[in-house]
Amino acid sequence: MGHREDLLEGAKRCLLEKGFVRTTARDIVKESGTNLASIGYHYGSKDALLAEAYVSIVEGLSDDFDAGGTATASAEPGSLERFQEVWSNVIGTMQKPGSMWHLSMEIVVMGDKVPGVRDHLAKAQREGARGIVPLLMGGLEEDVPDRDVDTLGKFYMTLMMGLIAQWTFDPETAASAEELTEGLRQVLAKAGAGTGTGAVDSADAPGSAAAVTAERSS
């Protein structure tokens, strides 16, 4: 590997061990076997490097809850079953010892102390919203329209941040995928009753595969 890759891998290890605030440029240099000048040359700043390292760590988790994986292959995209399976896989990564999701909470709680990191990650958050839609709804990330990013994507990212907060603060009472799915089922049923259509079947529910297919073909 070259210095750029060495720095990224070193920064990832430092993040998992020390977090954002406690990681210094010298920590990264020591861990990566490079030099201070390399950080500025390849990434511009320590904050930019840490932000990219964090994004890389998150992307590395995608195999654990990717919609194409065996754990979700049996569920129809957009269905309540798919919703439960994907969030079950996501929560599974939060339950692992030494889960890296606490880094996200560090950004939220101490954002004013790591403005450079926060600003870089804020720019990446929209693409995160775009990437999560296919996990639950099927299709390809590059085909997700902006309107879905601003609605479905933001909805899922809000749910993600809430789960991270719960599992970081009190894993014993944090929501399970089954509880989230049952909550969504109740919301859909009430919404259907409120419009005079009765209980909503999962196949016809807003956001279901059938509903999405009908919407996109109209």
pLDDT digits (tens, 9 = 90+) for 83-130: 999 999 899 888 877 677 888 888 778 777 777 777 777 777 888 888
| Mean pLDDT taken over the chain | 82
pLDDT tier, 63 (very low <50, low <70, confident <90, very high otherwise): low
**3-class secondary structure per residue, 48-70:** HHHHHHHHHHHHHCHHHHCCCCC
Would you tell me how many other CB atoms lie within 10 Å of the CB of residue 21?
12
Distance, C-alpha 197 to centroid of its chain? 34
H or E element in which residue 215 lies: helix 209-217
> Structure pTM?
0.75
CA atoms of 140 and 144, how far apart (whole Å) = 7
Q: Is 14 left (phi over 0), alpha (psi -120 to 50) or beta?
A: alpha
CA-based nearest residue to 13, from 1, 3, 27: 27
CA-based nearest residue to 125, from 104, 109, 94: 104
pLDDT digits (tens, 9 = 90+) for 131-172: 899 999 999 989 999 999 999 999 999 999 999 999 988 999
